[in-house]
Amino acid sequence: MDLLADLTPLFFTLVFVGVLIGILFGAIPGMTATMAVAVCLPLTYSLNLREGLALLLGLYVGGISGGLVPAILLNIPGTPSSITTTFDGYPMTVNGDGEKALKIGIISSLFGGLFSAAILFFFAPALADIAIKFSYVEKFLIIFLALTVIASLSSNVLVGIFSGVLGVWISLIGTYDVSVGGNGDTRLMFDFMVPYLEEGFSLLPVLIGLFGLATILQEAEKGVKDEPLCADVSLSNRAKFSMRDFKGQIINLFRSSSIGTFVGMLPGVGGSAASVLSYTQAKNFSKDPSKLGTGAPEGVIASEASNNGLTGGALIPLLSLGIPGDSTTAVLIGAFTLQGIQVGPLFIGENMETWHTMMVALVVANLVMFFVMFFAIKYIAKVITVPKYILYPIIVMMCVVGAYAINYGIMFDVWTLLLFGVFGYLSGKIGIEVAPLIIGFILGNSAEVYFVKSLESFGTLTIFFTKSPIAMFLWVLIAVSITYSIYTTVKSIRTKRANAGH
């Protein structure tokens, strides 16, 4: 009955407002769910813990979900975890299926969110015990598995691997930070660069530069005419969205939501790895892998189900171990500490009411996200009918503001945006593949830390193969993923040759 006493109109209003602000943060390139939660954290001071959590969980779900809007409509991932949504979402928009892609993305997000909330509710403590079986070695192998997507995403495997390695290399520029157990030394730069690159290139400006700015520069080269990105968001000659689009995708939905939840519960692996990993698996298990990357709904489903699956997953270690599962829950933990509440292995048992209230907030936040986005989407999607000469300057302005704001006002982040925008534009000319590069960039840092720490802890390379049955199983998955990528590449080359012969 105490639970019912907590479910006041204020509680639901806070969830609603949180979701709404979160969606805006997620949808604006350069702003993320983490920022949304960080910005609103001080407001929870004036609320009690449960009301504060209602607001923050709304922001979390909204922020993660909002990222799909610019990813699909503008080819700019609103948040790092929606990067794989661009791979198929944007081609769908270009093909005139923007609204359909958005609706598929939103329903997948809802499914992923509710699936992970259910897993969180029923299995949190048990899964936390599994999560602690993943040491540095297993976490490195998970990231390595996600990196295998590079091979399957590339149109030319060798160039793709080169681009991926280049991305990893760029991610290592900066300081080997003591906060991750490093020695605090800077590397891969000349001394004069240290004041700018001490902390390396920031993720968001790189991401927006490579995707958003580069696309705009390419358009600028062609000449931005008085025409919209797409005349109509769902062209009349194309099929409208219907639930039939999910036919044959149930396994994909469950698999991607599970991967999202699972990666979310491993502290330190990072949200982007979840969507990359589930996109890889969607491609590997697809009946026609060559379609992924060209506007296949299953790619959008995989990406969005997994990144929302992350929300419940990342709360598992937070509430069962006191350890945040991703960067947003790392901020969320502040709501507990500001109220003087400890989170740890006994949190759920000792705070049943708070736990139940959080679950209600999480489920309500997902439902609110769905209704707000699903029914507002046909209006939001009209953004692509705005003439490009008006739309693009606005996007550039938003990108610059987002880049400047991401680290509390660092001008070098704006230069990073420009630098990687130009780099992304030139990459298209010289053949470097941007998608593998950005995946290498996102995962490179964690891969390095876990690889080095594994070696420091165990002192031998063989530990990667012999550490545990989990490690061995991950090697099997890695081998399958790589073999399958090679198989599909060879198959597509043969098909092309056969077609050319005809």
Partner 1 sequence: MKRLLLCLGLIVSVSVVTPVADGVAAEKLITGNMRVVIGSKSTGGDTYQNSAIVAQALAEELGIDVKVDAVGATAAFKTMERSGQDGNTIMIFHDQAYLAYLYGIKGSADIFKELKIGPTIAINPGNAYLVPKKSPYQTIDAIIDACGKGTKVRVAIQPGGVSEIGYTAMKNAVKLKYPGSEENLVAINTGSQADKNQLLFDGQADVINGSVQANEQYTRLPEDDQKAMRFVWLTARKGTIEQANPEGMGQTTRDDLMKFVEPNAVVPYDASSNFVFDKEFIFLYNKNMSPELVAYLDNALTKIYAKGEIQKIQKKSFFIPDFLPSTESGPYLMKKMERIEKIISGMK
Which residues contact partner 1 by CB under 8 A? 9-10, 13-14, 17-18, 21, 38-43, 45-47, 51, 55, 129, 132, 135-136, 175, 177-186, 198-199, 267-268, 317, 321-324, 330-334, 336-338, 340, 342, 344-347, 407-408, 410, 449, 453, 456-458
Strand locations in 70-185 (E): 174-175
Least separation in angstroms between CB 187 and partner 1: 11
Q: Which is nearer to partner 1, 182 or 428 (CB)?
A: 182
Q: Which is nearer to partner 1, 246 or 458 (CB)?
A: 458
Q: Which is nearer to partner 1, 37 or 72 (CB)?
A: 37
Q: Which is nearer to partner 1, 130 or 165 (CB)?
A: 130
Nearest in space to 301 (alpha carbons), one of 488, 148, 438, 102: 102
How far is it, in rounded angstroms, from Cα 277 to Cα 145?
Answer: 7
Q: Which is nearer to partner 1, 10 or 235 (CB)?
A: 10
Least separation in angstroms between CB 50 and partner 1: 13
**DSSP 8-state symbol, 431:** T
Beta-carbon contacts of 201 under 8 Å, excluding residues fewer than 6 positions away, are 170, 171, 173, 174, 416, 420, 441
Q: Which is nearer to partner 1, 122 or 408 (CB)?
A: 408
Q: Which is nearer to partner 1, 344 or 387 (CB)?
A: 344
Least separation in angstroms between CB 124 and partner 1: 14
Nearest in space to 90 (alpha carbons), one of 303, 275, 284: 303
How far is it, in rounded angstroms, from Cα 29 to Cα 26?
Answer: 7
Beta-carbon contacts of 118 under 8 Å, excluding residues fewer than 6 positions away, are 312
b/e map 207-242, b = 16+ CB within 10 Å: bbbbbbbbbbbebeeeebeeebbbebbbeeeeeebe
| Three-class DSSP category at 252 | helix
Least separation in angstroms between CB 464 and partner 1: 15
How far is it, in rounded angstroms, from Cα 261 to Cα 255?
Answer: 10
Q: Which is nearer to partner 1, 72 or 398 (CB)?
A: 398
Least separation in angstroms between CB 239 and partner 1: 39
Q: Which is nearer to partner 1, 198 or 219 (CB)?
A: 198
Least separation in angstroms between CB 475 and partner 1: 19
Least separation in angstroms between CB 8 and partner 1: 9
| Residue type for position 121 | F
Least separation in angstroms between CB 135 and partner 1: 5
CA angle 172, 334, 128 (to 5 degrees): 75
Least separation in angstroms between CB 323 and partner 1: 4
Phi first, then psi, for residue 292 (nearest 5°) are -65, 130
Q: Which is nearer to partner 1, 44 or 488 (CB)?
A: 44
Least separation in angstroms between CB 344 and partner 1: 3
Beta-carbon contacts of 185 under 8 Å, excluding residues fewer than 6 positions away, are 175, 176
Integer angstrom CA distances of residue 447 from 122, 148, 314, 497: 31, 13, 19, 37
Integer angstrom CA distances of residue 383 from 62, 80, 108, 378, 459: 19, 21, 22, 10, 55
| Other Cβ atoms closer than 10 A to 6 | 18
How far is it, in rounded angstroms, from Cα 65 to Cα 63?
Answer: 5
